[in-house]
Amino acid sequence: MSKSKVYTQDDDSKVSFEFGSDGKLIGIKKDGVAVDPNSSTFQDLQESDDALNAYRVNKHGGIQQSYEDTIEVDNASVLQDNFQKEQKKENNAQFIDNDDANPPSLAFAEPRSSYGKYRRGKQTASDVMSYPLDINTDQDHMKITRYEYRRPTVNQSKPAEKRNFFGREYTIAGDTVKGSKIAGSIILPMPKPTDVNAVAWGKDEKTISGLAALGAAQKSGRFLDMLNPFGPVMGQGVTGKSAQDSAKDFVASIREGGGKRPGQGGTNILGFGQANMTQFITKMANGAFGTELSPDTFLARTGGQVLNPNAEMLFQGPAIRAFSFEFQMVARSEKEGKEIRKIIRFLKMGMAPKFRNTTFIANPDVFQLEYKSMSPDADTDENNLLKTVNQFSPGGLALTNIAVDYAPSGYWSAYRDSQPVVLKMALDFTELRPLFQGDQDITPEDSVGY
């Protein structure tokens, strides 16, 4: 690769041209800065008389009879690769120049003092990290706080609730495993916020036999009483029913569960007997011939019908939410590069389990996530959660995965101290307990809730 001399343009800018080993134009610099080959500036300079003169001199020297009238330009991929390489050199020079003694006045300002705005428990300003260093906390942002893990009770899956004491209503917080000790906080730019609230519903099927058994169990309460002889279960007390009473309840449940015959008013006692006989016959056939014949197959092939599954969707329990975030971090100064490394290490330390001995290991730390926008006159950060996006479970979140791509462009690009020019950090969090209606009830009415 060779470079031309510097040409002065009409606007007093300084331009030079770069050529590959085969003499083709591969790059242009204006005032010492590489020009994007996709820009109109590059196109204008490429077609200038200075470019043609530089091309002739580079390729043929002083042999003027060999001079061409047009410039041979390399392909687009070569131009782009050369442009990116020059950009990295320029960024590296800026990175090293931004030392602590003489930081630029605007883009690389000192971190904002956040002692008054981010204070909770024993936390101090030194516990707060941020990217970028000059992030404006008056604007929308994310705050990640790390807590030690604790277990005050065996069951932590409880919601917040409102209670009335002496005529006044108080909010009682839901159970949480967040300890009072804070390891530190991170302030990051607002990511892409998304939330999915879900509950588990599942399909349940009961044939007439199943409905009969279910109805009998519900009426007599005998099965539940056997499970808990010390008190009522599911609202059922010890019934002390006789076998004769239980049998009557069982027959009544068959009548209720069996339904009516089409076009008739009688109960389907006969249908119950037929269904049970069909199941008995198929079980005997399977045992005798080693087959896997089902009652529905038998009925469908012999009579063109199947057992009514009486299918329903039944609630099966709450779902625990998971969140994924991605942050791209560009180190604009040596100090900012150190802050990025500090943030990554802080998160990795928090998610790592604690070794106790060869028998036990202790839980990792847990995290609290908040979308915030701090007003300049606020003295605390308790009431500055964004109402326009979701809140996170007050029970805390676990950092289940952190993935850092140190070369997201596909190739290694670093400064003189080997700090990557740009990296991409992906975080996966999972809430530690489900959300209940009591949690949603205490959120502001003009917010979207959890």
Helix (H, G, I), strand (E, B) or coil at 319: coil
Pairing of strands 361-362, 354-355: antiparallel
DSSP symbol at 20? -
Alpha helices (runs of H) in 32-75, residue ranges in sequence order: 40-46, 49-60
Q: Write the DSSP assignment of 257-293 as a string of letters.
A: HH-B-TT--SB-HHHHHHHHHHHHHHHHHHHHH----
Q: What is the pLDDT of residues 136-193, one digit of tens each?
A: 888 899 999 999 888 777 776 777 666 666 566 555 656 677 777 788 999 999 999 9
- Give which of 30, 80, 29, 19 is closest to 54, Cα–Cα: 19
Instruction: Residue 340: name the closest of 130, 142, 137 by CA.
Output: 130
Please tell me whether residue 231 adopts helix, strand or coil conformation. Answer: coil
Distance CA 431, CA 426 (A): 17
Maximum mean pLDDT: which of 122-126, 216-220, 339-343: 339-343
Residue 395 burial (C-beta neighbours within 10 Å; 0-12, 13-18, 19+): buried
What average pLDDT score do residues 390-412 get? 93
Query: Do the strands 322-330 and 422-431 form a parallel or antiparallel pair, or are they unpaired?
Result: antiparallel
Q: Is the pLDDT of residue 344 over 90?
A: yes
Q: List all residues 6 or more positions away from 180 whose beta carbon is below 8 Å from its beta carbon.
A: 121, 147
pLDDT band at residue 323 using 50, 70 and 90 as cut-offs: very high
Amino acid at 13: S
Please report where in the chains the tokens 């008389």 appear, as a residue.
49
Mean pLDDT within 219-226: 52
> What is the model's pLDDT at position 179?
73
- Tell me how far apart the alpha carbons of residues 397 and 199 are, in angstroms, rounded to a whole number: 18
The band of 258, judged by pLDDT with boundaries at 50, 70 and 90, is very low
User: What's the predicted TM-score (pTM) here?
Assistant: 0.60
Residue 21 CB burial class (10 angstroms; 0-12, 13-18, ≥19): exposed
Report the C-alpha gap between 340 and 331 in whole angstroms: 8
Q: Contact at 8 Å (CB) between 253 and 212?
A: yes
**Residue of 438 and 431 predicted with greater confidence:** 431
Residue type, 82: N
Element of type H or E holding 28: strand 25-30
How many angstroms separate the Cα of 321 from the Cα of each of 148, 171, 198, 352, 438? 21, 23, 8, 21, 17
* pLDDT interval class at 398 (50, 70, 90): very high
Q: What are phi and psi of 158, to 5 degrees?
A: -135, 145
- Tell me what the mean pLDDT of segment 10-15 comes to: 88
